[in-house]
A and B are shown apart, each in its own frame.
Chain A
Amino acid sequence: MAARRFTRRHFLKSVAAGVAAGPFVWTPARAQGFNWKRFSGKELFLLLTKHPFIDVLEKNIPEFESLSGMKVKWETLPEIQARQKMTVEMTANSGGIDAFFTSLHVEKKRFWKAGWYHPLNKFLADPTLTSPDFDWNDFTPGARAGVTQPDGSVSALAAFVDANVVFYRKDLFGPKGLTPPKTLADLEPLVKKLHAPPGTYGIVLRGLKNANATQYPSILFPMGGTYLKDGKAALDSKEQVAALEMYTRLLRQYGPPGVVNFNWYECSAAFMQGQVAIYMDGVNFASQFEDAAKSKVIGKVGYAVLPSGPGGHFSPIYITGMAVNAQSRNHEAAYLFAQWATNKTNMVRELMAGVGVGRASTWDSPDVKAKPKMPADWYQAYQASLKIGRQGLPEIVGVTEYRDIIGVAIQKGIEGAPAAQVLAQAQKDFQDLLNRTES
């Protein structure tokens, strides 16, 4: 499995190819005739990750077995361990895994370059392999972009789409007549008004290096910043400086003590313990906020889309998907599973369990509307965020290394170092990383 070399010319060519391929089109007339039983009798092995999406999916796998006549075996490991196992399996070229759950925001380019994803374009266009009601265009543009590589190949089918939103305490906002921030300019005065330590801190965001890299774009994108400009590192732009200044100033002045070392766990715990007025993070946390066994703020949390800024209105999104292993001996059968796992029926089930998915039709499903698990503003904030979704991390091979680079800069910023100075160092390190891994 030779690693694909990726050059700029390759990139341009591939973008052109992707555009030319255009949207996939199906004729709904054949909906009834789709043959799920084509690979009846085969056995599939899946490598899954411990994840709310998988918790829901696992329960329904027997349904796929009877639908397809295939036998499905699977293993569910925590994300880090699953990635270790995947690496060993792929290096050993075992072919033992047919389909796997993939965190595209980390693995997309790395696995693609290694040739681990089986491209799904032909399968998606083949009416004998893709059920007419699957409807690729039902996935939001952000979700489709998130699974598509620079050469136009589709590496996975989007399953869970995490979007950053604003969580705020309605019980603190209400008496003061406050409303969630519409723009970045609104954010800081708002946080200041709510800041009343030690009972309540104005805001919490992830401070710990690496972890903070997924929350930083909530400020960076509306500020107008990007990670790359013409394929080169762009961490020292004036938008970056403004964003990092704001992110770190908010935490330094209005964050709980020790926030510089807060990962998602400390942030969400502080919010659930009622110590923080505003928290911006992945929309998925809401299911814990609304769980009486875990949260002291149940029923008090409002959900809103992130504020916009001079650079526009964005929500950083993080996509996980179901991929077919290039080394599998049953590509087509594995694709049937991936397709089933992300079809409309299953996505509605996910949404009903409070797990967010990037399929537009599911949001209007009568089932979801009849039995909403989450508050109405959660659905609204989520849906609005998906529409303005942009991949939250740079789509490069060295995602983890990038996260460390920017993460250290943010931590230093929180501790008081000037933004321009820490970003100059980050810019240099990031460009070195790109030179090393992207050429």
Chain B
Amino acid sequence: MVRGSARRRWLSTAGFYALAALFMLPTVFVFYWMLTLSLKPQIEATAYPPSFVRFSVTLAGYREVFTKYPFFLYTWNSLVVATGCTLLGLAVGLPAAYSIARWRQQQLAVIILVARIIPGIAYLIPWYIFFRSLRMVDTYGALILTHLIVGLPIIIWVMISFFEDVPADLADAALIDGCSHLGVFWRIALPLVKPGVVATGILSFVFSWNNFLFSVILAGRTTRTLPIAVYNMISYEEINWGTLAAAATLITLPVLLVALLAQRHIVTGLTFGAVKQ
């Protein structure tokens, strides 16, 4: 009897991994293809049938990324903008989410969501006129503020459910003990939702890091971010695959690392509040 149950457990574990592998294959393959493409010479990158495993390795793509393009500048720009957007988003979004959750301001929450639902391209021309008259085109400020349209609603909406899970009694107890509302938020609520803060921070960072559209229009030569850099490899009737894949790999790498390191937080963040005690 005992042996039978052990075997069943083994089978279900194997089945689980087989299924997981099946679902992961398409995702992982994309990364594998990107990585191998970045190492192939152009002539093999376009070969048909494609060579998946055996190919000659060159680092020319990576060399070109760093020598022909100001890749470090782009990376720095992306870092500044994504970090700025995330910090500002948290600074504004956390109190907002707390307030919405504590005082049940549902209408406010919906209005914020509407801002996220409208396609970003609709904002572009008004923004451009706005930032142009403020002389803010081609500045970090303009990029950070515009990226908030993507980051802020995420932060607020995910954090609302986190704050809703903080028992109201805790806050009331603190208030009776003489704590101010701001104090309750800062000393009681915020420490309790730390995993959520980490998760939303990362999500907002990734959204900003990957944003392409706003950066094309509002960034200039000095503030251009990484996703635009990838497009630099596409010329008239010519695509430089090796360099493009090398740039894509380098751009994906930090996000991938951050996501892997903080994976636990992200999963908590996405599902937290889904089940109420």
Binding site for B on A (CB under 8 A): 49-53, 55, 73-79, 81, 84-85, 88-89, 91-92, 94, 96, 264-265, 268-270, 272-273, 275, 282, 284-285, 288, 293-296
Contact = CB atoms under 8 A, between A and B. Distances in A.
B43 interface: yes
Greatest chain B CB density within 10 A among A51, A92, A275 is at A92
A272 B216 contact: no
Nearest to A81: B216
B234 A92 contact: no
A89 B216 CA distance: 12
Interface in B17-69: 41-43, 46-48
Contact of A77 (B42, B125, B231): B231
A40 B151 CA distance: 45
Contacts of A73: 221
Contacts of B137: 96
Interface of B: 41-43, 46-48, 124-125, 128-129, 132, 137, 216-217, 220-221, 228, 231-232, 234-239
B236 A49 contact: yes
Nearest to B235: A50
Contact of A294 (B43, B124, B231): B43
Nearest to A93: B129
Closest 9 CB pairs of A and B: A269-B46, A51-B236, A92-B129, A294-B42, A50-B235, A78-B231, A92-B128, A81-B216, A88-B128
B43 A75 contact: no
A75 B234 contact: no
Given A52-B236, A268-B237, A85 B217 contact: yes
Contacts of B42: 293-294
B234 A78 contact: yes
A77 B47 CA distance: 28
Contacts of A88: 124-125, 128, 217
B138 to A, nearest CB: 9
Given A81-B216, A270-B48, A275-B48, A293 B234 contact: no
Give the interface SS of chain B, mostly helix, strand, loop or mixed: mixed
A284 B137 CA distance: 35
A274 to B, nearest CB: 10
A92 B125 contact: yes
A102 to B, nearest CB: 13
Contacts of A55: 235
A284 B42 CA distance: 18
B235 A52 contact: yes
Contact of A96 (B43, B48, B132): B132
B43 A94 contact: no
A388 to B, nearest CB: 21
A264 B237 contact: yes
Contacts of B236: 49-53, 79, 284
A100 to B, nearest CB: 15
A50 B48 contact: no
A272 B43 CA distance: 8
Greatest chain A CB density within 10 A among B46, B221, B234, B236 is at B236
Greatest chain B CB density within 10 A among A51, A81, A91, A264 is at A81
A76 B229 CA distance: 11
Contact of A273 (B46, B129, B221, B232): B46
16 contacts: A50-B235, A50-B236, A52-B238, A77-B231, A78-B231, A78-B232, A81-B228, A88-B125, A89-B128, A92-B125, A265-B239, A273-B47, A275-B48, A282-B237, A293-B42, A294-B46
Contact of A84 (B217, B232, B237): B217
Nearest to B232: A50
